[in-house]
A and B are shown apart, each in its own frame.
Chain A
Amino acid sequence: MTHIMAPKKIMKSLILALFAIFLVHFANASSSAGQHEGKSEEKEFDVNGMIMHHIKDAHEWHLWGPEHGGTSIYLPIILIDGGLKTFSSSHFYHGSIVAVKDHKTGLDVEFIAGAGPAEGYGLFHEKIYKLNEGKLSIEDGHVHGNIKVLDFSITKNVLSLFFGAIFILIIMSSVARFYKKNGAVAPKGLAKFLEPLIVMVRDDVAKSNIGEHKYKKYVPYLLTIFFFIFFNNLLGLVPILPGGANLTGNISITLFLAICTLVVTLASSNKNYWKHIFATPGVPVALLPIMIPIELVGILTKPFALMIRLFANMTAGHIIVLALVSIIFINKNAAWGALSVPMALFISVLELLVAFLQAYLFAMLSALFIGGAVEESHH
């Protein structure tokens, strides 16, 4: 029996080894990225820098290798600064690293001064500033006195946003084509997989929260929000190129989604909704001066909670996986992989659940808020 089992075991360990090599490679690249932000002489592994570098936006799509001289996709930079300026971000990443003194802490801080068409601009923490005589003035880790340029660059997150939108369009149009071609028949293939989700959003999210008569108008919005978040969450979990950006864990993205829900809620609000805010039934008139501000703030806290929830959940997931993988590099011993890899795998699988759950929650709560705005009084 053992001689039959042996090849299988070898295969298993081979796969594990390959996986470990891949992880080491990935973490090495990240660690050098971290070093860039910390002190360059220090060879200590900078976990915080690596994680922050990963979960934040960037003007390049770093693939592997060290930060300088490694393999990256340099994304286009689009600036509005006395006219439209476009150039490749390689002019930054291949520019020179300049060290300046922090005015407050007195420590040396590095930024990248652009070269070629990027001349006169500095990249500090992935933000582009106009340089004053080739310098940035930094106080307590923040830039002071330098103008932040209006930056419409196709960053890593913008590119990931495009990928996500194309991904959704391709998949959903193939589903729509199925229905257009076959009419009202039992679904097959991709349609069979996605129809339960579509029906779930329509029935469990829209119909049950907004109400039988008014839900139809909001189904397309809720479907779009659900699939946008769901697909981009999943894409963020893919470690290689089309994925890997922390898009739904970016505050700008969740802010915009929350604003959309706020706008839809307010646009569909009826008299009853405003009556509940300015003259909550059952509340004594004397209490209204306190209640009205609370209710008005409540209009904003609901979408604000939506924004923070999605941002925090997705970012936390990425941080946990990266931190667990970092265990190996903090201890500088591959044996720690026996602990770190299964734990990272477990969290990654959990993140698959979270990816769905957060999309569902966002759509569900949006529907709940819209339902509250269109509800008729029961008196």
Chain B
Amino acid sequence: MDLILPEFGLLFWMALVFICLLFVLTKFIWKPILSSVNEREQKISESLELAVKTQAEMKAMQAANENLLKEAKAERDAIVKDAKETATKMIEDAKVVAKSEAEKVISAARQAIETEKGAAIAELKTQVAAFSIEIAEKIVRGELSSDDKQKALAEKLATDINLN
């Protein structure tokens, strides 16, 4: 029977020890342990959230990078194309300019040649005239070197004049 009857003395000591234990454990032990465990759990959940967010951000960034790369490629292509066009045009232009320049030079050369030719012909003409006069002079001198010849010439001239 006394197995199931509480003892006042033991009840007293139990109350004393348990209440002290509850107080000390709550104040100095459970609080720091629970706060550390809570803090850690919060840290872990925050880190996990951050990881998911970072992953999403990474994905978005990757997509943005790809877009940027595409745009850059397109721009590069356009620039290259433009450059090519410009180059061809420049070459064409240069060709045209060169042709007209060449034609100008050629025509100028032709004109110069014509002028030179005219001058040369004119000079030749004067030269030829001078030569002819010289020759004529020499011949005249020969004709007029002796009296006979002068007479003959005079006669002849006279005949010519007569004839006229």
Contact surface of A with B, Cβ cutoff 8 Å: 52, 55-57, 78, 125, 127, 142, 150-155, 157-158, 161-162, 165, 168-169, 172-173, 175-176, 179-180, 183-186, 195, 198-199, 202, 219-221, 223-224, 227-228, 250-253, 255-257, 260, 311, 315
Counting CB contacts under 8 A, is B59 at the interface? no
Q: Which candidate, B4-12, B64-72, B89-97, B121-129, is the interface stretch facing chain A?
A: B4-12
* Shortest CB distance B23–A (Å): 9
State whether B10 touches A157 (Cβ < 8 A). Answer: yes
- Comparing B33-41, B98-106, B107-115, B144-152, the segment that makes contact with chain A is B33-41
Q: Are B32 and A256 in contact (CB under 8 A)?
A: no
19 residue pairs A–B, Cβ–Cβ below 8 Å: A56-B2, A78-B9, A150-B8, A151-B7, A151-B8, A155-B9, A158-B13, A162-B17, A169-B24, A169-B29, A172-B25, A176-B32, A180-B32, A223-B30, A224-B26, A224-B30, A228-B18, A251-B5, A315-B3
Give Cα A176–Cα B37 distance, bound, in whole angstroms: 11
Number of A-B contacts (CB under 8 A): 116
Tell me the dominant secondary structure on chain B's binding face.
Answer: helix
Which of B9, B32, B34, B43 is in CB contact (< 8 Å) with A152? B9
Whether B80 sits at the interface, judged by CB under 8 Å, is no
Q: Is the CB of B21 within 8 A of A198?
A: no
- Are A179 and B33 neighbours in the complex by a CB distance under 8 Å? yes
Q: Find A252's partner among B11, B30, B31 (CB 8 Å cutoff).
A: B11
A residues in contact with B7, CB < 8 Å: 57, 151, 252
Contact between chains at A250 and B25 (CB < 8 Å): no
Residue contact A175 to B9, C-beta cutoff 8 Å: no
Given known A179-B36, A219-B34, contact A252–B10 (CB-CB < 8 A): yes
Task: List the 10 closest pairs (A to B, CB-CB), nearest first.
Answer: A184-B40, A179-B36, A220-B26, A184-B39, A252-B10, A252-B6, A220-B30, A176-B29, A158-B13, A151-B9
Kindly list chain A residues whose C-beta atoms are within 8 Å of the C-beta of B30. 219-220, 223-224
Q: Are the C-beta atoms of A220 and B2 separated by less than 8 Å?
A: no
B43 to chain A, nearest CB (A): 6
Asked if B14 and A253 make an inter-chain contact with CB atoms under 8 angstroms apart, the answer reads: yes
A260: which B residues are within 8 A, CB to CB? 18
A251: which of B4, B18, B31 is its contact (CB, 8 Å)? Answer: B4
Question: Which B-chain residue is minimally distant from A186 (CB atoms)?
Answer: B40
> Which B residue sits closest to A169, measured CB to CB?
B24
> Smallest CB–CB gap between A291 and chain B, Å?
30
Question: CB-CB < 8 A to A173: which residues of B?
Answer: 28-29
Cα–Cα, bound, A125→B12 (Å)? 20
How far, in angstroms, from A180 to B25 measured CA to CA in the complex? 15
Query: Is B79 an interface residue when CB atoms closer than 8 A count as contact?
Result: no
**Nearest-Cβ distance from residue B36 to partner chain A, whole angstroms:** 4
Give the shortest distance, in Å, between B31 (CB) and chain A (any CB).
7
- Which residue of chain B is the closest to A151 with respect to CB atoms? B9
Q: Indicate whether B58 reaches chain A with its CB closer than 8 angstroms.
A: no
Q: How far is the CB of B81 from chain A (nearest CB, A)?
A: 60
* Residues from chain B with Cβ under 8 Å of A202 in the complex: 34, 37
Given contacts A256-B14, A257-B18, 6 further A-B contacts (CB under 8 A): A125-B2, A142-B1, A153-B9, A169-B29, A179-B37, A219-B30
- List of B residues within 8 angstroms of A57 by Cβ: 7, 10
Cα distance, A55 to B4, chains bound together (Å): 12
Assess A195 versus B18: contact at CB under 8 Å? Given A151-B9, A220-B25, A251-B4: no
Among A78, A172, A251, contact of B29 (Cβ-Cβ < 8 Å): A172
Beta-carbon contact of B22 and A255 below 8 Å: no
Task: Give the residue name and chain of the A residue nearest to B5 (CB).
Answer: A251
Does B60 lie at the interface of the complex (its beta carbon under 8 Å from any beta carbon of A)?
no
CA distance A152 to B13 in the complex (A): 8
| Chain A residues whose C-beta falls within 8 Å of the C-beta of B43 in the assembled complex | 184
Q: Is B15 an interface residue (CB 8 A)?
A: yes
